[in-house]
Amino acid sequence: MIDYEKLKEAHELCDKIYLASVDMKYSKHDGEKYYFLAPITDAGTFHCSSFIFNEIDALITKLRELTQSEPKYKVGDIVWVINRNNVPVSLKIHAYSTYAHRIGYVVANKDDEQFYMDGGSFHSSRESLIQSQIEYWSSLKKKEYDEN
């Protein structure tokens, strides 16, 4: 028998995950099956990952795991990164996403092109980003000096 309150809770948890969805199907042979679908990106292409559960409680447990941590950056925040040309650029956070225990963000550049990033290289200001780069290059110079 379908527990609509638990299914509602699963949908509410799923709403916290960017573009994720929950679906329930029933068959005579397999009984109830609960499907969780979440998009991920890799080099600009979207893929979909899914989990299949036999019980709604297992699905809710997984959704709670995926939504328990608070993101470091919020939707609308401006973050700074070094782009492929080694130039500091600002990006705007459009959404927060969680996939398989990974925290990620959907960001947009000044041309409003959206893509997924894990947030590990984000800095809250241009100055913070530049200071981080100075420290990184200094550590490389020290490492080279120590090796000689």
Q: Mind giving me the DSSP string for 83-103?
A: -TTS-EEEEEEEEEEEETTEE
CA angle (53 as vertex; 102, 65 as ends), nearest 5: 30
Could you tell me which residues come within 8 angstroms of residue 68 by beta carbon, excluding any fewer than 6 positions away? Answer: none
In the structure encoding, which two tokens stand for residue 113, read together? 């092109």
Query: Phi and psi at residue 118, in whole multiples of 5°?
Result: -80, -15
pLDDT in tens, 88-103: 899 998 877 655 445 6
- Separation CA 104–CA 83 (nearest Å): 17
> pTM of the full predicted structure?
0.51
Could you tell me which residues come within 8 angstroms of residue 28 by beta carbon, excluding any fewer than 6 positions away? Answer: none
Level-2 CATH architecture, domain 4-67: 2-Layer Sandwich (3.30)
- Read out DSSP for 15-41? TTSTT-EEEEEEETTTEEEEEEEEEEE
Nearest of 119, 121, 115, 118 to residue 136 by alpha carbon = 121
pLDDT in tens, 50-75: 677 788 888 888 777 777 766 778 88
Domain range annotation of the chain: 4-67, 78-147
* Residue 33 in this model has a pLDDT that exceeds 90: no
pLDDT in tens, 104-137: 788 888 888 887 787 778 999 999 999 988 998 8
Work out the pLDDT band at 148, boundaries 50, 70, 90.
Answer: low
| Type of residue found at 84 | R
